Structure 1
Amino acid sequence: MIKNLSDLLKRAQTQKKMRLVVAAAQDLDVLKAVSDAKQYNIIDGILVGDEEKIKAIAVENNIDLKQFTVINKPDLMEAALEAVRLVSSGEADFVMKGILDTSILLKAVLDKEVGLRTNRLLSHVMVYEVEKYHKLLFLTDGGMNINPGLEEKKGILMNAVLSAKALGNDEIKVACLAAKEKVSDKMPATVDGAELKRLAEEGSFGDGVIVEGPIAFDLAVSKEAAEVKGYKSPVAGEADIILVPTIEVGNGIGKALTYMANSKSAGIIMGAKAPVVLVSRADDSETKLYSIALGSVVAANS
């Protein structure tokens, strides 16, 4: 089992090298991350975007473009479609967002002709290395699904489970987050959490998946808090996946971990035919490198 992002990087180095295509690659941090991933021998890269801008950034920052294939598509929508087409045609294994809006890339991913759509829901999975936590923490969905109902949460949970399994987790403990542990009709998150727990017990999410819900964040990540409150669950203090009730909760927890707890992270979209590396434009090249490693490992093991 991979316990930190350095281990994730090592795993990506020891497996089959994957082929990454970047949509709208004319961004310094993106080019640094892709160049670093190439140096680590994780990927072979295809850069789709404004070739003139890509070359200018590369020259100014001593990035060797000879190690990549560059495809000139200055228009953002055309760049996204070409990047996705390369994955759907088998010429690349996974795709990464460059300097374009997420909506543009997702429109290409869902395109009926060249897209990567499946019958699964698309959802965002962030993986955090938190200094005070003893293993990687998967957080979902703080990036795509705004206010998911029970059916959507099933898909979100399944996507996160698949990503955790790809990283070698045989037993996966899921915390369905709510403000309290008692089921109340006034709090839909508690009702959904209890139902997801029931479904897991019936085997809906596969072998080795233990779901607890509803459960508050402190109990999910702290054995001490669980002991003080007399709360008993195999998930208490051992959560691998935090399933949040709304996008605001996931977004808030994620940014608090990044900006207040100095946590390292990686992020991808699951549910398409291939992983989609999706990080914020504000993320540095290290976060983007870890996200490439995550996408590479998931692509190779899904």
Structure 2
Amino acid sequence: MTSDMDGKFDWLIAKAAAQPGPTLRVAVIHPVDASSLKGALDAAQAGIMTPILVGPIAKMSAAAELAGLDISGLVQIEAPYSHAAAARSVELIHEGNADALMKGALHTNEMMAEIVKRAGGLRTDRRMSHVFLLSTAGYHKPLLISDGALNISPDLTSKRWITQNAIDAACAIDIDPPKVAILSATEEVDPIIPSTLDAAALCKMADRGQIKGGVVDGPLAFDLAVSPESVATKGLKSPVAGDADILIVPAIEAGNMLAKQLDYLAGASAAGIVLGASVPIILTSRADSAEERLASCAFASAVAHWQRDQS
């Protein structure tokens, strides 16, 4: 994601900064580039989080100096390379010395390898999933999309947790109850299109209380999820259609393409986090601006505080 923020997430940043209690302690994994460091510094200055920089201190200091950033006031923990930084950051969570993780200048799979370990990782009984939060002039409210970054081809059980995680994220930013559209290529349940069968099953799971906190409908084509005009033209009766807060996509390709199309063609700004682990994970792209990293920090902070209130 590369869009400029233009104040699109000011409301989210203000909400995170106003949360009661101590700020979120975030282990920033291998922040050896300017964007990772600036995102962490901006979030600290906004009162959203307290960064803990985990990585090779010499490289972090050199990157900060080159970018004209002052990181001398931040806690810095030595880890010689990126994989070691990921492992040490997970340890900080287990030690009670950090409340969340933030991806720096390393590949997602390298970071997630430590997080998903069955012994010593951050697994829960949920499936981990990524949630994009987008703000675009083309839609009248924030829009959440899942999963476009983590689960490649999720089965029905995984889609249940993808949907639940997205609902929880929406509730954490005061979208309550969120309207959830389970996307496919059609609004009809068609046995030859597996995603329509999954959508129908997810709706029934919501009816039975296996998915909680949101209003779920599907299958819905994209136009029916977000366009009241399309809904009226097709005469569809739905509590979600035309006004969705959350779009649940069939597979990672659809979610990734959809989010990036909104970014590059519709001027959207994006934040992104992973839920389903024992703590929120700020999962940004290496191409994200520092402003988008700040919004992702605010998103994670709101979710973390909401989760504390629920426990």
TM-score between the two structures when normalised by the length of structure 1: 0.96
Tell which deviates more after alignment, 65-74 or 122-131.
65-74
1:267-282 counterparts in 2 under 5 A? 267-282=272-287
Q: What amino acid maps onto 2:257 in structure 1?
A: G
Letter in 2 for 1:293: A
Q: How many Å separate the matches in 1 of 2:193 and 2:269? A: 32
Post-superposition shift, 1:151? Answer: 1.1
- 1:65 corresponds to 2:71: yes
Mind listing any 5+ residue stretches in structure 1 that lack a counterpart? none
Alpha-carbon distance, 1:62 to partner: 2.4
Match of 2:31 in 1: 25
Does structure 1 retain, via aligned residues, the 8 Å contact 2:206–2:216?
yes
Q: Which residue of 2 aligns with 1:257?
A: 262
Residue 89 of structure 2 is matched in structure 1 by 83
3-state DSSP of counterpart to 2:243:
coil
- Kept after mapping to 1: 8 A contact 2:164/2:212: no
Distance 1:94 1:162 in 2: 17
Give distance in 2, aligned partners of 1:296 and 1:114: 24
- What is the aligned partner in structure 2 of residue 39 from structure 1? 45
Give the one of 215, 231, 235 matched to 1:230.
235
Aligned counterparts of 2:280 and 2:38: Cα–Cα separation in 1? 20
Structure 2 Cα separation of the partners of residues 245 and 41 of structure 1:
37
Q: CA deviation at 1:222?
A: 0.9
Counterpart-to-counterpart distance in 1, 2:215 and 2:118: 36
Tell me the secondary structure at the aligned position of residue 96 of structure 1.
Answer: strand
Gaps of 5+ in 2: 1-7
Cα root mean square deviation, aligned = 1.2
Corresponding residue of 2:208: 202
| 1:221 counterpart residue number | 226
State the Cα deviation string for residues 70-124 of structure 1 (Å, max 9, x = none). Answer: 1121221110011111122211110001111111111111234432111111111
Alignment match of 1:296 (pick from 291, 298, 301)? 301
- Aligned to 2:145, the other structure's residue is in SS state strand
CA contact (8 A) 2:167 2:178 kept: yes
TM-score of the superposed pair, with normalisation by structure 2: 0.93
- The answer as to 2:146 corresponding to 1:140 is yes
Alignment match, 2:3: none
**Of 123, 126, 143, which aligns to 1:120?**
126
User: Distance in 2 between the 1:221 and 1:89 partners?
Assistant: 44
- In structure 2, give the amino acid aligned to 1:38: A
Work out whether 1:239 is the aligned partner of 2:244. Answer: yes
CA distance in 2, matches of 1:9, 1:70: 25
SS of 1:7 mapped into structure 2: helix
CA deviation vs aligned residue, 1:208-240 (integer Å, no higher than 9, x gap): x11111100011011111112212211111111
- TM superposition shift of 1:178: 0.7
Distance 2:271 2:255 in 1: 14
Letter matched to residue 56 of structure 1: A
CA drift at 1:29: 0.5
Contact 2:262 2:268 in 1 (8 A): yes
Amino acid of the structure 1 residue aligned with 2:70: D
Alignment of 1:99 onto 2:105: yes
In structure 2, the residue corresponding to 1:179 is in which secondary structure?
coil
Aligned-pair CA distance for 1:147: 1.2
Distance 2:190 2:211 in 1: 24
User: Could you give the per-residue CA deviations for residues 244-265 of structure 1, whole angstroms, max 9, x where no partner exists?
Assistant: 0011110110110111111011
Q: 2:13 maps to which residue?
A: 9
Distance in 2 between residues matched to 1:98 and 1:14, nearest whole Å: 25
Q: Whole-Å Cα distance in 2 between the matches of residues 295 and 27 of structure 1?
A: 21
Which amino acid in 2 is paired with 1:205?
I
Residue 292 (structure 2) pairs with residue 287 (structure 1): yes
Kept after mapping to 1: 8 A contact 2:172/2:306: yes
Superposition deviation, residue 60 in structure 1: 2.2
Other-structure match for 2:5: none
SS, match of residue 209 in structure 2: coil
Give the CA deviation at 1:277. 0.6
Secondary structure in 2 matching 1:105: helix
Equivalent residue pairs, number: 298
Secondary structure (helix, strand or coil) at the match of 2:219 reads: strand
1:212 to 213, 217, 220: 217
CA contact under 8 A between 1:201 and 1:210: conserved in structure 2?
no
